[in-house]
Amino acid sequence: MPHEKNFPNLIKLKYIHDGVDGCLTVMENHREIPFSIKRVYYINKLKNKHAVRGMHAHKKLKQAIFCLQGSFSLSIDNGLEERRIKMHKSHVGVYLPPKVWHVMRRFSEDCVIMVVASDFYRERDYIRDYNEFKKYLKKHP
């Protein structure tokens, strides 16, 4: 598939159970995370069950997304195929390469999402219109 390289992969993080004292989970640049992290952001207080987030693709930005608590549904679309992933394990994330349309929905109320990104926030890196996304893929396969 020509866009297979744009298909997100699961990232399984190493975690260390300290028995009753909790669990420690680790991610490192160019190890579990396939890029250098420049920015981290998180999303919480998802009180509206019908909230829909994302609905965009990035031109260059690489990201990895994790559900640290609760659950949500992640849809990923590389222009040829769409997949849905239930995000509910804090040690299992998804690598979001550039040029992947992604949508987050069906958040549990206690959901906490953390995203690590390869670059600073730049609105011009976003493609927020699906038809524009399809055109961009044709121009930049």
Judged by the rule CB under 6 A, the positions of this chain that interact with ligand T46 are 39, 41, 43, 53-54, 63, 65, 115, 121
- Size (the chain), residues: 141
CB of 96 to ligand T46, least distance (A): 6
CB of 20 to ligand T46, least distance (A): 34
What is the pairing mode between strands 92-96 and 101-105? Answer: unpaired
Active site residue 140: no
Element spanning 41, H or E = strand 39-43
Q: Give the sign of the dihedral formed by CA 28, CA 40, CA 63, CA 122.
A: negative
Element spanning 120, H or E = none
Q: Which amino acid is at 16?
A: I
CB nearer to ligand T46: pick between 13 and 63: 63
CB nearer to ligand T46: pick between 15 and 121: 121
CB nearer to ligand T46: pick between 24 and 109: 109
Residue from 56, 88, 91, 140 carrying the catalytic annotation: 56
- Residues classed as catalytic: 56
